[in-house]
Amino acid sequence: MAAWFQNLAERFLATFVEADRWKMFLQGFGNTLLISLFAVLIGVIIGLLVGIVRVYHNQTGGWKILDGICRAYVSVIRGTPMILQLMIWYYLIFASLDRDYVLFVAILGFGLNSGAYVSEIIRGGIQSIDVGQSEAGRSLGLSQVQTMRFIILPQAIKNSLPALGNEFIVLLKETSVAGTITVIDMTQAANLVRANTYDAFFPLIAVALVYWVLVTGLSALLKRAERRMAKSDRS
């Protein structure tokens, strides 16, 4: 039994302590958070714009060209794998860029991917709002833009919060394929350490635990936000 614990301790030291390999895990953790946070921001901005354009076209028939572009964007993003999109961005579109910009490419790739899914969530949320809400806003003298901004969008986002939260969680976990374009995220850090130590247990289990903690924490925050919104509806 003592020999088993000694062997386990040696494997732990080889994974995290020897050659300061913990620094690689720390770098991967930082890159994962960086990609996730900025990709979420890009995704929300794009998703809002695309969702509004598509709803406006459905309701009025206007913005036909913009609607066509948005439909094509959503179709392409949703119809191709995330890992393939990353490879196209890195090895084709931005092939001439220095490798120092690899994080920028990853953020852009994940952000554009997330934007397509967020746009559909926002579009569904807007369409779930009763038409009478828009008519009430217009009767109060608000313009169509003001009605969308102050009446429709707040309710749509509130209704879409569970789906948006799920999309953010999916995005966080999807960053694990960033290593495909040489980004050292948490999964790639685990692979590099595993290749050096020939031991997969501690690298993979450690990264899995970190992802689990991040997702669990994010889920708890989202549930708290939902409860607060539910209380505000009842008050």
Q: Tell me the whole-structure pTM to 2 decimals.
A: 0.89
Q: What is the pLDDT of residues 114-127, one digit of tens each?
A: 999 999 999 888 88
- Written in H, E and C, the secondary structure of 195-228 is HHHCCCHHHHHHHHHHHHHHHHHHHHHHHHHHHH
pLDDT level of residue 213 (50, 70, 90 thresholds): very high
Is it the case that residue 156 has pLDDT exceeding 70?
Answer: yes
The pLDDT tens digits of the residues spanning 30-65 come to 999 999 999 999 999 999 999 999 988 887 888 899
| Of 31, 34, 12, residue with least CA distance to 21 | 12
* pLDDT for 140: 75
Residue type, 214: L
Burial category of 141 from C-beta neighbours within 10 Å (exposed 0-12, middle 13-18, buried 19 and up): exposed
pLDDT at 232: 62
CATH superfamily placement of domain 22-229:
MetI-like (1.10.3720.10)
pLDDT at 146 over 80: no
pLDDT tops 90 at residue 234: no
Exposed / middle / buried, residue 219 (Cβ in 10 Å: 0-12, 13-18, 19+): middle
Residue 10 confidence (pLDDT) above 70 = yes
